[in-house]
Structure formats: structure tokens, C-alpha cells
Chains A and B, each alone.
Chain A
Amino acid sequence: DQQVKQNSPSLSVQEGRISILNCDYTNSMFDYFLWYKKYPAEGPTFLISISSIKDKNEDGRFTVFLNKSAKHLSLHIVPSQPGDSAVYFCAASAELMNRDDKIIFGKGTRLHILP
């Protein structure tokens, strides 16, 4: 039973346009969400996070939106750049409410930025 779902295995976006990556979750106890970026042959690196007490968090070109009622979050990258081509993972934990330190990842979305 997949608790964190990224239903788009891949996404292609023109350079300079907006990239929107989506993530759905099933466990209503999740209260902290993270996005990670991964290049081939490297470990994932942290991009941005959001707590369930917020509905938006912004860091430079990256913005994460959280819709708790829909159990959905999205990562917006504006403007998209060639270096953004990578696999993006969504992750969730239930630490704040449930004191559970488990962090669960989705399957990832491969983003291709087209020149």
C-alpha cells in the first residue's frame, strides 16, 4: 500500500517555463513533507519542505503548495533551467503529531528540461 504517490513517472518542460510536480498521500497522520532532487550516481539532496500548519513555502525558484483536504502537494519550479533535469522525490513523515520518525518516499518523477 503506497502511502506517498507520485503518479507521473516523467515530465518534460521547456526551459524558462514552469515545472509542476505533483504528489498525493493517503495517511492523514502525515504532517511534514519534503522534496528531494537526485542526479544519477549521487545521493538525493534536499530542496524544500513544508509543515502541515502551512499551505505554501517558497525558496527562490522553488515553491511547495500543500492542500491538506485533498492530501495533495505540488512543487513548482519557475523558471525551469537545464540543471533542474533530475529525478524529484516527494517524502512525508508523521513526526509532529505521532512522534513517528519514519520518512516515506514516493517513486519519483523524472523531470526533463528541454532547450
Chain B
Amino acid sequence: NAGVTQTPKFQVLKTGQSMTLQCAQDMNHNSMYWYRQDPGMGLRLIYYSASEGTTDKGEVPNGYNVSRLNKREFSLRLESAAPSQTSVYFCASIFQINTGELFFGEGSRLTVL
């Protein structure tokens, strides 16, 4: 049981380049999330998807786009990367919020030069 899988685990980009972070879960979860973690800032919600076909902005959505491709996959796209987007990105999923456990992937470390 793989849980939540994120790719790539590491990426270095130049300012202005684009890239997509992929996330897939095999637990038949309804809701999926993208967070970024920065020193002293905790985990900040970028976008989330409560169900297949729906997406909503979180706390820090600017500079990002998302796609809930199907129930399993939720991708995060940086169209024109900026140094401020250097961070560790985590994807997470949960079947239903009051079931308790939000499962996280191992993280993707992105550096924008």
C-alpha cells in the first residue's frame, strides 16, 4: 500500500521556468491538498480539492495552479517559477475530514534559482 506518492522528490529550476508536481493516492480518498512548508511558517495550504472535479484556493494560492485529474491524482503547477517559491511541498489526502487522519506524502523539495 503506497499511500500518497509525490514526484519528483527534488527539483532545481531557474526563475521563469515551469514545472508540475505530481501527487497520487491509492486509498480511495475524496479530499486532496497541497501545502508548502517554509522555515518559521509552518504548513501553509496552497490549494485543495474536496472531490474529483472541484478545486479551491487555500491560504497562499498565488503563482500556482492545480488539476484534480481524477479521484487519485492532484497535480500542482508552477507556470513561471520565482525564488519565493523555493520550498518543500507536501501533498496530502483524507477520505473524510471527521475520520481523523490526513495522510501526507514524503515531500518535494523545490529550489528556484
Using a CB–CB distance below 8 Å, which chain A residues touch chain B?
A: 6, 9, 32, 34, 36, 41-46, 49, 51, 89, 91, 93, 95-96, 101-108
Contact = CB atoms under 8 A, between A and B. Distances in A.
Residues of A contacting B: mostly: strand
Contacts, number: 66
Interface of B: 4, 31, 33, 35, 40-45, 48, 50, 56, 58-59, 90, 92, 94, 97-98, 100-107
Contact of A103 (B40, B42, B97, B106): B97
A46 B45 contact: no
Contacts of A51: 98
A107 B56 contact: no
B44 A105 contact: yes
Given A43-B90, A95-B97, A96-B98, A105 B43 contact: yes
A36 B45 CA distance: 15
A31 to B, nearest CB: 9
Contact of B42 (A93, A95, A107): A107
Nearest to B97: A95
Given A101-B56, A107-B41, 15 more contacts: A32-B97, A34-B100, A36-B104, A42-B106, A42-B107, A44-B104, A45-B104, A93-B97, A101-B50, A102-B48, A103-B45, A103-B48, A105-B35, A105-B42, A108-B42
